[in-house]
Amino acid sequence: MSFEFILATLDDRAYLLNLRKLTMVEHLENSGQFLSDAEHEIRLDDAYACSHLIIFKGKIIGTLKYQEDDCRVEIMQIQIHPDFQGQGLGKKVMQQVLVKARNKTVELTVLKDNPALKLYQRLGFTITGEDEYEYHMQATKK
C-alpha cells in the first residue's frame, strides 16, 4: 500500500479548510479551544507551502503538512477525511512517513485528548514535552 503526497495549491484551500473543520473542531473544543472561522484560516495558512494532499488509489483522502531537513521531519498536521477514517489509512500513512525518514528524527504534536495519541505511541513515538494543550512527540532514528 503506497500513498502519494502532492503539494497543495491555492485551488485546494477550500477543501483543506473544510477538512480541517471536519477533523479538528471536536478535538480542539474538547481541549477548550473554540476557534473562529478566521482562526481556522490563519492556522491553515501557516506554512501552507508545506501542505500536501494524500492520494490513495487515485482519490484525495486527506492532508499531510510537513517540513523536512537533513536530520528531521516535522509533521505539522495529518488529517484523514472522515469518509476514509476507521480503515487504518492514517496508520499506514504514518508508517510510510517513518520508513521514508528512517535515518531522521520524526517530530509531531498531538492534542492531549486526541485518540491519535495512542496510535503515535504504538508507532514508536514518545512524549518529549508538553504545553497546555498538546504533547510534543518524537520517533528517533533507527
**Is CATH 3.40.630.30 correct for 4-139?**
yes
Among residues 116, 112, 115, 114, the alpha carbon closest in space to that of 131 is found at: 112
CA–CA separation, 80 and 54 (whole Å): 8
Q: Which grid cell sits at 46?
A: 501557516
Is 138's pLDDT higher than 70?
yes
Q: What is the pTM of this model?
A: 0.94
Instruction: Tell how far CA 30 is from the center of its chain.
Output: 18
Per-residue confidence (pLDDT) for residue 92, from 0 to 100? 97
pLDDT tens digits for 54-68? 999 999 999 999 999
pLDDT tens digits for 81-93? 999 999 999 999 9
Among residues 44, 54, 136, 60, the alpha carbon closest in space to that of 96 is found at: 54
Share of the chain above pLDDT 90, in %: 95
CA–CA separation, 9 and 53 (whole Å): 9
